[in-house]
Structure 1
């Protein structure tokens, strides 16, 4: 209520007009001596007493502590100052009233009394206190979780954030510019801003109902903190155009750090697994390699032969097996020593390897001075061609051997061919035995030659071109 003067008031005339008596607000008139000159029914109901019992009583009888407020108001009126509404609570705080007042003037224009209105705001105060408690609880929860609420006015691009966002990033009030506080997306890391704006525009366009983005903002110490923002459109105009976006943000820096640590751990584990696989592969290779000649060893030979024999569905001759033995190698070692003998085997191994060039062909050191070769998907002719090339390649090395009738190191080769139709699923031992018999027959026939085992067990020699070259005078040692 304002402080404009009422018409002159006669305190001797009871204020009993109908409007005053039946007003829906608790009303009373208080004299300079702070006694109640008049009360209406609503105030009497608040006081719990009849109207007649209240008139003439001091205001403190109705509302203890009211005299101090009333005296202050009279003083303000006398000083020409305006009156303002005040809250006044009963002792013990059981009830709280909102008290408003206006001066009533006498004939001389002086303030004779106050017209006072009281509104019981006890329930409002309780709700306000509960709301304040709730706000404190929500604030504490948001602050402890590193969260804050923000609202974007879409037409102006201005954003309002709850105070918790400054605390989350370590800023005190007044430490941030107006642009940083109220301009949308200004606090977002420049590299992240295009992606955030793209998601925001998707919400404005209606292609996404929820705004959700992960981005970085700088804290007070210049460190970039990871933030997860989520929100929805909460207001639109009559045409459906978005007006306001309400969202929450949460600091997920620690989660990001954990994710990065986990990703680093996963990458390290994958790297270690790859290294382990590679180490196992290398170990397997080493375990299947002959250290002297660097050819696959007997173990690798056995596995490869078993694999080839296990293959099915063949309609053509499927496998040629060659057994190769260095002729008179014991006497070579006796004549030249084991160091020269080892070097001789290495050179022979390299020559043999160069004759079996298909990816599936396998030349191995079978043991001692003996070698074995598996030629998958090969005919009798294929086996003879490779064996001939091997025999000639060893001869071409012209390694001197005084203990050999040929004067150089030579080899003998036995061949067997496994036919799918003739021996489906043939046994490994049968194939080895057949090739070994052919090799033995070649040795018995004078060495430096090739024999092939027939299906019926008979042995056939394989002609080797330029055999006379072995009669040439061998070079000197070394």
Structure 2
């Protein structure tokens, strides 16, 4: 502090806190035999100051000087309003309350413009005559806490209000005995009145800490004792008077050592951060909910895409999916570009089938044919689609002419094997005609989709013209070649009657 008067005032603050923690209602003068308390005042993680009756600062600690942006010596003797405009009204009310014998309550005070908000706590300091000579004031910057509440105000209006004051207290641990002395503020924070707590709860170190949190707190404490950490800092839970667990942030440091350097006393402050924890948990829950909704949205979009690319009747990919897949395959380029087989399949005499058996039977016929065709293209990359009406199309990536012929033959035979009666067909059953074209590996990358489709269509038309129920493949020179398939008469028994 550098100022003997300020140092004495700092000692007075700490001594008064200790005395009050022991349960006394009087505030005796400071004990000059314990100078280490001045260090606690100077290094406390909250902003502290001593304010005289004329509202001038008698002493300030480093934290308050840092908040003010001025050295300690420049603040001592100045009016409190110079540091925090508007503070004088609050301080006068507090002096009036003290004189009236009424308790002081923590207050929130904002800077002009609302840039920073502080939680302001105060306690009276008595002179030798027992009169209130000054106030010991603590300021906690709760600006960030208020910002978090504002972020949640859209979802919970009550969180938009000012954050409830968090209880604070100072405690001192006598390391050799394990006894702890706390200022009476801690009882207020947890709702206990004087005399309601056992001696163990009041004075035994770590006894009030939640059993699950205790090992971690003790571990951090032992790190300070071992010298691996200069500052004790831990977040833990303690039970209030109603059995509710309150989240506490405790910070402190060693303030006394023996001649050999062994720690003797730990002086710390504790802050109730329960509301802040609740806000964090709500934020985490909101994030988890948003992530879940995003996953559901992605899945819904994926499903919508699938539905938009699926034929509702046959549950095969539709023309849109076919066009995208063919464009993708034709877009594959490189020196070793794979070949591709394209099959166009048409149900023979389907119009007459609908005329004979009706559209309901016609729809069922298409569904059965679709299932049969799908079962013949078994590789993951193979794609069987409903091209339109009674026409189907199949893309066989990385396939040769022989591969295309094999799949087409299997499809022709699979439809025959269904033995769907068709009185209007020369074969007596429903059959299909198939046209094949192959894009060879030596072809130039890319290529026109319409050229490939036109080639397969010509092969299909030629199969129809040649008598249906057969397969033709388009050669590179434009000629058509039949694909031998077993004779229908040799593979199909006499079909059952219609219906």
The two structures have a TM-score, normalised by structure 2, of: 0.66
Report deviation, 1:23.
Answer: 43
Distance (Å, rounded) in 1 between the aligned partners of 2:37 and 2:406: 137
Report the Cα distance in structure 2 between the residues aligned to 1:13 and 1:317, rounded to whole angstroms. 89
- Cα distance change, pair 454–239 in 1 and its aligned pair in 2 (3 A): farther
Cα distance in 1 for partners of 2:132, 2:88 equals 17
Q: CA deviation at 1:127?
A: 40
Q: How far does residue 168 in structure 1 lie from its aligned partner after superposition?
A: 0.9
Aligned CA distance change for structure 1 residues 399 and 280 (closer, same or farther; 3 Å): same
CA-to-partner distance for each residue in 1:64-92, whole Å, 9 max, x for gaps?
Answer: 99999999999999999999999999999
Contact 1:139–1:164, Cα closer than 8 Å, also in 2:
no
Contact 1:237 1:243 in 2 (8 A): yes
Name which of structure 1's ranges 266-275 and 8-17 shifts more when overlaid on structure 2. 8-17
| Stretch deviating more after TM superposition (167-176 or 98-107) | 98-107
SS in 2 for 1:341: helix
Superposed CA offset, 1:132-157 (max 9, x none) = 99999999999954111111111211
Q: Which deviates more from structure 2 when the two are superposed, residues 345-354 or residues 138-147?
A: 138-147
* Unaligned ranges ≥5, structure 2: 1-21
Distance 1:437 1:50 in 2: 93
Gap change, CA 1:435 and 1:261, over 3 Å in 2:
same
State the Cα distance separating 1:468 from its structure 2 match.
Answer: 3.1
**2:347 aligned with 1:331, yes or no?**
no
Q: CA deviation at 1:407?
A: 0.7
Distance of aligned partners of 1:408 and 1:154 in 2 relative to their CA distance in 1, 3 Å threshold: same
Q: Which runs of 4+ in 1 moved over 4 A?
A: 1-144
CA contact (8 A) 1:25 1:119 kept: yes
2:209 paired with 1:188: yes
Change (3 A) 1:139 1:14: closer
The 1:101–1:197 alpha-carbon spacing in structure 2 relative to 1, beyond 3 Å, is closer
CA 1:205–1:135 in structure 2 vs 1: closer, same or farther (change >3 Å)? farther
For residues 280 and 431 of structure 1, the distance between their equivalents in structure 2, rounded to whole angstroms, comes to 32
Counterparts of 1:375 and 1:345 in 2: how far apart (Å)? 21
Q: CA deviation at 1:12?
A: 44
Post-superposition CA distance 1:167-208 (Å, at most 9, x none): 111111111111111111111111111221122222222332
Q: Which consecutive unaligned segments of at least 5 residues does structure 1 have?
A: none
**Bigger radius of gyration, 1 or 2?**
1
Q: For the Cα contact (< 8 Å) 1:150–1:159, is it kept in 2?
A: yes
| Alignment partners' CA distance in 1, 2:51 and 2:292 | 90
1:165 deviation in Å?
0.7
CA apart distance, 1:235: 2.2
Residues 177 and 413 (structure 1 numbering): CA distance in 2 closer, same or farther, change over 3 Å?
same
Asked if the contact 1:146–1:251 (Cα under 8 Å) also holds between the matched residues in 2, the reply is yes
**Distance 1:106-1:396 versus aligned 2 partners, 3 A rule:** closer
> Per the alignment, do residues 237 and 402 of structure 1 end up closer, same or farther by CA in structure 2, a change over 3 Å counting?
same
C-alpha contact (below 8 Å) 2:365/2:420 kept by paired residues: yes
**Residues in 2 aligned to 1:24 and 1:301: alpha-carbon distance in whole angstroms:** 68
Which moves more between the two structures, 400-409 or 188-197?
Answer: 188-197
Q: Determine if the alignment matches structure 1 residue 208 to structure 2 residue 229.
A: yes
Q: Which residue of 2 aligns with 1:443?
A: 464
Q: CA, structure 1 residues 178+442, in 2 after alignment: closer, same or farther (shift >3 Å)? A: same
Corresponding residue of 2:102: 81
Distance in 2 separating the partners of 1:362 and 1:180 = 74
Aligned-residue offset at 1:216: 0.8
| Deviation sequence 1:293-320 (CA, Å, 0-9, x none) | 0011111111111111112225154211
Matched, 1:114 2:144: no
Residues in 1 aligned to 2:71 and 2:481: alpha-carbon distance in whole angstroms: 142
- The 8 Å contact of residues 382 and 397 in structure 2, kept in 1 or not, is answered as yes
User: Structure 1 residues 209 and 310 mapped into 2: Cα distance closer, same or farther (>3 Å)?
Assistant: farther
Q: How far apart, in 2, do the equivalents of 1:37 and 1:346 lie?
A: 92
**2:83 is equivalent to residue 59 of structure 1:** no
Change (3 A) 1:306 1:97: closer
In structure 2, distance between residues paired with 1:370 and 1:42:
82
Structure 2 CA distance for partners of 1:87 and 1:5, relative to 1, 3 Å: farther
CA distance in 2, matches of 1:231, 1:473: 96
Alpha-carbon separation, structure 2, partners of 1:136 and 1:293 = 52
**Shift in alpha-carbon separation, 1:284–1:53, aligned structure 2, 3 A:** closer
Deviations 1:391-439 (A, max 9, x none): 1100110101111111110111111111242232111111111111111
Say whether 1:407 aligns with 2:424.
no
Evaluate the alpha carbon distance shift between residue 305 and residue 257 of structure 1 in structure 2; reply closer, same or farther with a 3 A threshold: same
Are the counterparts in 1 of residues 332 and 445 from structure 2 also a CA contact under 8 Å? no
Mapped to 2, the partners of 1:46 and 1:276 lie a distance apart of: 47
What do you get for the CA RMSD once the two structures are aligned? 17.8
Quote the offset at 1:279 in angstroms. Answer: 1.1
